[in-house]
Amino acid sequence: MDAVKVAPDAYRVLLENDKVRVLELRIKPGEKIPMHSHRYSMVAYYFGATTHKWTLPDGKTQDMHLKAGEIVWSGPFAHGAENTGKTDVHLLIVEIK
């Protein structure tokens, strides 16, 4: 299921056209986002340092530790997310259609 439909309070669509979809994501400390998918390859920019945990479809988990200003590239994937840190997870996602 699409990330924006699963967690409309966390994801905000800033721009969408036939080439890209730009999302802003904010997850408060302790907040969880259920399993969802990202259908497109994407670039994510982290506004602040963050600690969060991903849960993959096979049940494995991955701890994420990112620095402010870090940029990450990813292909399409599915996961659930939990903010395990003490500050908001705040990032900009550009999905390439």
Query: Averaged in consecutive runs of 10 residues, what is the pLDDT profile of the chain (97 residues)?
Result: 95 98 98 96 97 97 97 97 97 97
Host domain of residue 75: 3-96
Instruction: Tell me what pLDDT residue 72 has.
Output: 97
| Secondary structure string (H, E, C) spanning 5-70 | HHCCCCEEEEEECCCEEEEEEEECCCCEEEEEEECCEEEEEECCCEEEEEECCCCCEEEEEECCCC
Q: What is the pLDDT of residue 94?
A: 98
The whole-model pTM stands at 0.92
Predicted confidence at residue 53, as pLDDT, reads 97
Tell me what pLDDT residue 5 has. Answer: 96
Is 89 buried (19+), middle (13-18) or exposed (0-12) by CB count in 10 A? buried
How open is the CA angle 49-22-88, to the nearest 5 degrees? Answer: 25
Q: How many domains does the chain have?
A: 1
CA angle at 71 for the pair 70 and 76, rounded to the nearest 5°:
140
CATH number at residue 21: 2.60.120.10
